[in-house]
Structure 1
Amino acid sequence: MRNSGLSEPYGATGSGGPEGGAAQGDPLERAVWRLRSRACWDDAAALLAPRAATEPGQAVRRTAVLVERCVFTGEGWGAAEDSLRAAEALAADDEERGAAACERGHLAYASTLLGVRDRADEARSALGRAAALLGPQSPTRPLLHFRRGLIAQHLSDNPSDATAAFERAHAGATAHGHRLLLSFTWRHLAAMAEHDGRLAEARHGFAESLRIREDLGYLVGIAPALASLAAVLPDAAEAARLRAEAGRLVRLLGGVPAWLAERLTPAADD
């Protein structure tokens, strides 16, 4: 499957960012979003550190930022693990413990997929624990569905379970107004459609994912969206143009996502 490589992550749902709500008026959250979307994860984590020391929600958000750095760069695993342990220690109720468990599952998944260390069992266990802790209406549950879909897609090679999980995540992201998560669910539902040979559906999904990321200014996620859409376009010239644009963005951001930089040939980047 051409578009079934490592998914970009998505940070803690309900803790700010581009999804809307009161956080849009929070200068700290706006600053963190700008830094994160431009691949400045260390700076974003530093801004969150004072509040993350005492607030469970911000501790999980800081962890999500550092896990995102791991996924995009393949580096920073120790810092993400330390932040995660701190978030787990601060969690005081089921929602907070479930959100922290969801981040542990994602960190373990990324470590496994990138070949750092096989933590597949830990990933499944942590997401199972999150499922038991989070209530049916929890704003984190759509993210949990999405991450369980990633495991089914990439670690278990179970397309039917992956599609079902992505569909649940898509519905939840729509209901909660989590636009960035919606860009991920569009992207992965499109990848499953591509896997099944439904290329028109795949093109629609990848295009929707790209549109949302451009609307949100999620710069670090635009290149993967461009490359995925290019892979299912029937027009070779247009596909080449999108791959070239993806290559330029990767270079602009200093070679991230690292996994995409490896795939884009020099000729496609010219």
Structure 2
Amino acid sequence: MADTAMRNSGLSEEPQGPDPHGDDPLERAVWRLRSRACWDDAAALLAPRAATEVGTALRRTAVLIEQCMFTAEGWGAAEDALRSAEALATDDEERGAAACERGHLAYASTLLGVRDRADEARSALGRAAALLAAGSPTRPLLNFRRGLIAQHLSDNPSDATAAFQRAHAGATAHGQRLLLSFTWRHVAAMAEHDGKLAEARHGFAESLRIREELGYLIGIAPALASLASVLPDAGEAARLRAEAARLVRLLGGVPAWLADRLPPAATPD
């Protein structure tokens, strides 16, 4: 059961950047690109502002880390973007947000077997916790990432569950719907770990619903696969897995970590 819950929780998939709302044409364009796996193009759009604006620099960093998580490639570009963002940070909120990204990049490198940076991940997230105010809008994401480390690096389900629940409450309070889709997903995975399959189905279904409403295309296949794994109806589960496989092929094989776990195409695309 524990291995299944870990697989369903989405090992290589965490929310990056703001939700797709607001009046900024740049942010809307970036959202459309990154949600369709066009991370290099999204980063290029952000580059001019990122040279002088720390918030944009952090969003560009987040886009490039997302590319690492979904493709296991692009680590050098993400590291360079992060260093640039760190250099622009001038107050505790900005430094805390940058430390949160530093911890996430180190976590991703460790999780995907690129290089063991677990100590760096924990240290950076601890630094972020010290810098960010209690009401900071970055706090829910920080709690979520601390939950990931507890779940996947420390093998501590109780701490992971508590962190995911704090992140879930914070995402709800701040109206962070993309993050909420991830907290639903991981709270559901921990429920599955504890054998609470009805709760797991509800959480995975909520995660999928939000991603579909937001148009977060790259996140829909993992959500479909997770929900399929806890459905009692084998036929419906097979249908969801087939749809997930279709989406992965449509996006050129991303998420890479999910591609080989899904059924092959019945006929050539």
Cα offset for 1:267? 6.5
Contact 1:246–1:269, Cα closer than 8 Å, also in 2: no
Q: Normalising by structure 1, report the TM-score.
A: 0.95
The residue aligned with 2:14 is 9
Q: Is the contact between residue 245 and residue 265 of structure 2 (CA under 8 Å) also seen in structure 1? A: no
Measured in 1, the distance between the counterparts of 2:267 and 2:71 equals 19
| 2:140 aligned to which of 139, 142, 147 | 142
- Provide the residue aligned with 1:186 in structure 2: 184
**Distance change >3 Å, CA 238–CA 79, structure 1 → 2:** same
Shift of 1:264: 1.2
User: SS of 2:106's equivalent?
Assistant: helix
Indicate the RMSD between aligned Cα atoms, in angstroms.
1.3
- Distance (whole Å) between structure 2 residues aligned to residue 4 and residue 143 of structure 1: 19
Q: Deviations over 1:125-157 (max 9, x none)?
A: 000000000000000000000000000000000
List aligned pairs for 1:42-57, cutoff 5 A.
Answer: 42-57=40-55
Match of 1:255 in 2: 253
Partner of 1:118: helix, strand, or coil? coil
Aligned residues: 263
| Contact 2:168 2:184 survives alignment (8 Å) | yes
Q: For residues 1-270 of structure 1, what are the structure 2 equivalents within 5 Å? A: 1-5=3-7, 6-12=11-17, 16-18=18-20, 20=21, 24-266=22-264
Q: Give the Cα–Cα distance (whole angstroms) in 2 for the partners of residues 170 and 154 of structure 1.
A: 18
Unaligned runs of 5+ in 2: none
Shift of 1:224: 0.1
- Give 3-state SS (helix, strand or coil) of 1:39's partner: coil
* Stretch moving more, 2-11 or 144-153: 2-11
- Return the alpha-carbon distance in structure 1 between the equivalents of residues 12 and 199 of structure 2: 19
Contact 1:213 1:222 in 2 (8 A): yes
AA in 2 matched with 1:228:
S
Please give the per-residue CA displacement for 1:54-99, whole angstroms capped at 9, x wherever unaligned: 0001100000000000000000000000000000000010000000
Provide the C-alpha distance between the structure 2 equivalents of 1:268 and 1:202, rounded to a whole number of angstroms. Answer: 30
CA contact (8 A) 1:247 1:269 kept: no
Q: Distance in 2 between matches of 1:221 and 1:69?
A: 12
Q: Name the CA distance, whole Å, in 1 between partners of 2:88 and 2:256.
A: 32
Which SS does the other structure have where 1:25 is aligned? coil
Q: Deviations over 1:148-193 (max 9, x none)?
A: 0000000000000000000000000000000000000000000000
The answer to whether the 8 Å contact 2:157/2:190 transfers is yes
Would you identify which runs of 4 or more consecutive aligned residues in structure 1 move more than 2 Å?
267-270
CA 129–254 in structure 1, closer or farther in 2 if over 3 Å, else same: same
Q: Which string of whole-angstrom CA distances, capped at 9 and with x for unpartnered residues, describes residues 11-53 of structure 1?
A: 14xxx432x4xxx100000000000100100000000000000
Distance 1:35 1:269, change over 3 A: farther
Once the two structures are TM-superposed, the CA of residue 7 in structure 1 deviates from its matched residue by 3.9
Q: Say whether the 8 Å CA contact 1:72–1:257 is kept in structure 2.
A: yes
Percent identity reads: 84
User: Could you tell me how far apart the structure 2 residues matched to 1:121 and 1:269 are?
Assistant: 46
TM-score (norm 2): 0.95
